[in-house]
Amino acid sequence: MKPLVKVCGIKELNILNELVILDKIDFLGFIFYENSPRFISDDLINIINKIDLRDKRPVCVYVDADKDFIKETSSNFHNPILQFHGSESNDFCKSFNREFWKVIKIKNNNSIREIKNYPDASAMLFETYKKGQHGGTGKSFDWSLVDNIKDLDTKFILSGGINIKNVDNAIDINPWCLDINSGVESSPGKKDLNLITELLNKI
């Protein structure tokens, strides 16, 4: 069974309009972290609640953000999923009464054990550990480490430099969802529609 697909780090209106009409995307990710080159533009934030995302569910991405900021920004979307990249606790993540995903940075076998700290997460997103960086590394971690959780009743999302060259290997791991971001960019934060379409067709 093919995985679901999330395209993350959308910050330009023209790219969003193109992605909304593509059939093979399930989730659209918007990053609310100022230090990211994929930080959503003010122009897009101001009109996002007027855009019909069709059958695609929005995912709002945060890194140790203020509670009021999370409530304010996520309220611009219909039925969003909240994705937490920082050191947020399970209690904090669930306090918004919205579905949430928690990101685990994979460094070694011990990293996987953090799953148990987030029993209320509807899915766990695994990304590559890089000191001082929250996502968008463009690098893949050792995907064999995920073998340890295949038998657990946990939906997991695979991220970390997924591109046309390694997507077959990513699918072989049997993730619930693939998180597509830096692997379909012409430069950091600049999505390339040709790369996205090519990757979607291969998936």
Q: Which domains does the chain have, with CATH numbers?
A: 4-202 (3.20.20.70)
Is 27 a residue whose pLDDT tops 80?
yes
Mean pLDDT of 95-114: 86
pLDDT of residue 20: 97
The whole-number pLDDT of residue 135 equals 46
pLDDT band for 142, please (50, 70, 90 cuts). Answer: low
Instruction: Give the pLDDT of residue 134.
Output: 47
pTM attached to this predicted model: 0.91
As a whole number, the mean pLDDT across the chain is 89
Strands 190-191, 156-158: pairing kind: unpaired
Neighbour tally for 99: CB within 10 Å:
17
Distance CA 167, CA 202 (A): 8
CA distance 83 to 64: 11
Please state the rounded mean pLDDT for residues 97-108.
89
DSSP string, 52-72: --TTPEEEEEESS--HHHHHH
The pLDDT assigned to 50 comes to 93
Q: What average pLDDT does range 23-34 have in this prediction?
A: 96
Q: How would residue 113 be classed by pLDDT, with cut points 50, 70 and 90?
A: confident
Q: pLDDT tens digits for 44-72?
A: 999 999 999 999 999 999 999 999 999 99
Please give the pLDDT value at position 94.
98
